[in-house]
Amino acid sequence: MINLSRVLRSPKMRQTFTIFRSSGHFGAGGWIEDTPEEIESFGIVWPSTAREILQVPEGDRALGMMTFATTVPLYTTRVEGVTAAGTSDQIEWKDELYRLISILPFSDYGFNVAVGARLSGD
């Protein structure tokens, strides 16, 4: 496979954003969330395509969606196993917060792609 991750590192293409990664565990009374980890990252950001939007439940489409490509692993809600249990990563980009709702399979090419739904809107 061709590793395309150098495109994401190109100063001409990349944008900076912050990934907020939450983890936690089940305890007395339910889910106990740990303090979110902040990961400064960069990559390429673009508006989600019609095909990407169709893969997402309708309720998540209302406030807008963006697609993020980065070399950092990205996660949706997961149970304990290969990684620690946690809720979906959130990405702050241009003062907007997006919750990752779909991970697209591009890791064979040296990067990760995820679709994020905006958490609030006007």
| CATH number, domain with residue 24 | 2.40.10
> Which neighbouring-strand residues pair with 102?
115
Return per-residue pLDDT of the chain as tens, 122 residues. Answer: 677 788 888 888 899 999 999 877 777 877 777 888 999 999 999 999 888 787 777 766 667 899 999 999 998 887 666 566 678 899 999 999 999 998 988 888 889 999 999 987 65
Closest CA to 72 of 12, 9, 24: 9
Query: Number of folded domains in the chain?
Result: 1
Backbone angles phi, psi at 68, to 5 degrees: -120, 130
**Structure letter (DSSP) for residue 89:** P
Domain around 15: 5-118
Count CA atoms closer than 13 A to 73's CA, side-chain side. 5
Distance between CA 6 and CA 110 in Å, rounded? Answer: 9
